[in-house]
Amino acid sequence: MTVSVMIVDDHPIWRDGVARDLGEHGFEVAATAADGDAAVRIARAVRPAVVLMDLNLGSSSGVAAIREITTQLPDTRVLVLSASGEHDDVLEAVKAGASGYLVKSASVRELVAAVRRTAGGDPVFTAGLAGMVLGEYRRMADAPSDQQAPRLTERETDVLRLVAKGLTARQIADRLVISHRTVENHVQSTLRKLQLHNRVELARYAIEHGLDQEQEGRG
Amino acid sequence: MTVAQPQRDPATPLWWGTIVLRWVTLGFALGALLVHLDGYRRPDLALAAFGMMLAWTVVTSVTFGRQRLRRPWLVVADVLVTCGVMLTSPFVLSTEQYEQVAPLVTTVWAAVPPLTAGARFGAAGGVLVGLVTAVSTGVARLDVDLDVARDGVLLTASGLLIGITATTARRSQAALAQALRTEAATAERERLARSIHDSVLQVLARVRRRGGELGGEAAELARLAGEQEIALRALVTTGTAGSSGGAADLRAALQLLATSRVQVSGPAGEVRLPTEHVAELVAVAREALSNVDKHAGPEAKAWVLLEDLGSEVVLSVRDDGPGIAEGRLAEAQAEGRLGVASSIRGRVRHLGGTCVLETGPDAGTEWEIRVPRPERGRDRR
């Protein structure tokens, strides 16, 4: 079965280019959207396997759209495809549930491989993303207020550092003398802990600020 | 930015001070008037003079309280009105009162104009009006004695001091505004550099790579795009590492080294270090990358990783080239051919850090540089 993909980007030229590249490689481009709100709406109707998401969507927030899509559509995976400079946004997107990040300057081959990995349920953990996740865990460890913040195990730290230095899963497995699958599991686990923590934080924030009651009152 | 809105005059508190002082001294003048009213030669003229002082105090309170109404001619009028009222004294005071050295009609109320002139025109204006008021006091006293001379010195000195204060306040405000503008310009420049890097440079990189793949005329276009990419990258890199307060963001500075073959990773937020550390570490990364270009071949990729451990920062530069065969390193060093490596070591040692070079046949090369964070920089995290 072909993998259905949805492309969210506010640049038509980029959108069409990516759609053509993916179409040539056997993917079904089921839909496109130019902003976050439309992305959530269309994704609900189309239920694509993978959403390719730019974070720089003019007025609407790509991060909020990712949170909506990943909570409402558990079978849909989001791959962030963005410019290289938006570190804070990328980190937020991953915490909101995106399962990977690729820079826009990546080659078509890299893009195709990344979409395929995402469709298969594996995270696309580029060196850039590993560096950010590593930094985020260290930031949380330094913040004394965040008692419930997740921590990395020593092994997870080793694996993330090697990913951030550009080693492939195979090379990491060789270097640490563990199996390829174990490397993947470590990487998955660092991401899952971060996303879970983010969800807990959001829920706690909502309760503390009475947002949950307000919503009930309205509905 | 709105054009019509003038900046607040930093001497404004001084103006408000003169308004308060005018009312306080007016009260004083009223007291003197009531005490001496019976002995005056012309009580009616004394009351008229006081009426004028009251009216003028109201007028100046309204006008000098507003920045746009602090006109030069009003300050001049202030001097004229004050001296005019003062000069009615010879007609108001009786001969006995002059002999007893009773106060002039204006009393200390006349001390305010040198202050307003100082606030408006600076030290020279304050001194000039101080002198004019002093001369006027002498004329109204019909005599120049020690008291008049002392008043003259005090009037002139107060005008001088307020003038100096007002000028200093305006100069420091101008200097502050200049500093803020410079800082804003630097921030804007950094923002532009980042945005150029994220947009134009990425497109040029894509054109260069894709064109190279296609060959022919497209390859020629790719070559041109590549030249512009390098030129633009150099343009946005120069001067952007320097930043406010002697500290800069190493993360952002390193990001500018990214190309289609070099990937830069690090924490999402800023990694602030003293400007010198940032410049040196960027130079270190640049040298390590130039080594990759020279020795690892054109197909090799490289990764730069920055980690912030709080008390130290770790900079890793790794490539996936063929690496350096065992023994070759020592050999090269013995022949003095390891220029870049020794330059990197020198820079790192200068920053009080350590560096490790790991390499082996078919294992690429990897620099790991650890530099302690200076105490001052640590507070800024």
Are A20 and A113 within one domain? yes
Chain B: closest CA distance from residue A95 (Å)? 12
**pLDDT grade for B325, boundaries at 50, 70 and 90:** low
- Where does a domain end: A67, A88, A123? A123
B113, B155 contact by CB (below 8 A): no
Are A21 and A98 within one domain? yes
Are A98 and A179 within one domain? no
Does pLDDT of B380 surpass 60? Answer: no
pLDDT tens digits, B47-104: 999 999 999 999 999 999 998 889 999 999 999 999 999 999 999 999 888 888 888 9
Residue among B199, B214, B305, B306 with most chain A CBs within 10 A, to mutate: B305
> What residue has token string 């502050």?
B176
For residue B351, give the H/E element and its range.
Answer: none
Mean pLDDT score across all residues of chain B: 84
- Note the ipTM here: 0.83
CATH number at residue A9: 3.40.50.2300
Are A85 and A136 within one domain? no
Higher pLDDT, B253 or B78: B78
Are A73 and A105 within one domain? yes
Q: Residue A193's domain spans which residues?
A: 129-218
Looking at residue B147, what is its pLDDT?
85
pLDDT tens digits, B70-82: 999 999 999 999 9
For residue A166, list chain B residues with Cβ-Cβ distance below 8 A: 263, 301-303, 318, 320
For residue A174, give the H/E element and its range.
Answer: helix A169-176
- Report the relative pairing of strands B247-249 and B272-274 from DSSP bridges: antiparallel
Are A119 and A191 within one domain? no
Share of chain B above pLDDT 90, in %: 39
Looking at residue A116, what is its pLDDT?
93
The DSSP secondary structure of B114-132, one letter per residue, reads HHHHHHHH-HHHHHHHHHH
- Where does a domain end: A90, A123, A156? A123
Alpha-helical regions (H) of chain B: 12-36, 43-64, 72-86, 89-92, 95-99, 112-121, 123-141, 146-198, 200-214, 217-237, 250-255, 275-295, 328-334, 339-350, 375-379
pLDDT tens digits, B329-341: 666 665 555 566 7
Are A115 and A140 within one domain? no
Does pLDDT of B241 surpass 80? Answer: no
Are A48 and A149 within one domain? no
For residue A87, list chain B residues with Cβ-Cβ distance below 8 A: 251, 266-269
Does pLDDT of B344 surpass 80? Answer: yes
How many domains does chain A contain in total? 2
For residue B310, list chain A residues with Cβ-Cβ distance below 8 A: 138, 142
Alpha-carbon distance of B132 to B80, in angstroms, equals 10
Q: Which residue of A has its CA nearest to B269?
A: A88
- Where does a domain end: A64, A88, A123? A123
Q: Which residue of B has its CA nearest to A138?
A: B309
3-state secondary structure of B242: coil
- Side-chain-side CA neighbours of B277 within 13 Å: the count stands at 27
Looking at residue B185, what is its pLDDT?
81
Q: Name every residue in A having a CB less than 8 A away from some CB of B.
A: 83-88, 90-91, 103-105, 107, 126-132, 134-136, 138-139, 142, 161, 164-166
pLDDT tens digits, B172-217: 988 888 888 888 887 777 777 777 766 777 777 778 777 777 878 8
CATH number at residue A144: 1.10.10.10
Determine, for residues A128 and B366 on separate chains, whether the beta-carbon distance falls below 8 Å: no
Contacts of B111 (CB under 8 A, 6+ apart): B21, B25, B133, B154, B155, B158
Alpha-carbon distance of B72 to B88, in angstroms, equals 25
Q: Can you list the residues of chain A whose pLDDT is less than 50? A: 216-219
pLDDT tens digits, B347-369: 898 899 998 888 776 678 888 99
Are A167 and A114 within one domain? no
Are A137 and A34 within one domain? no
**How far apart, in Å, do the first and last CA atoms of chain A sit?**
40
Looking at residue B51, what is its pLDDT?
95
Are A96 and A73 within one domain? yes
Looking at residue B3, what is its pLDDT?
41
B188-217 exposure pattern, b = at least 16 Cβ within 10 A, e = fewer: eebeebbebbbeebbebbbbbbebeeeeee
Are A159 and A202 within one domain? yes
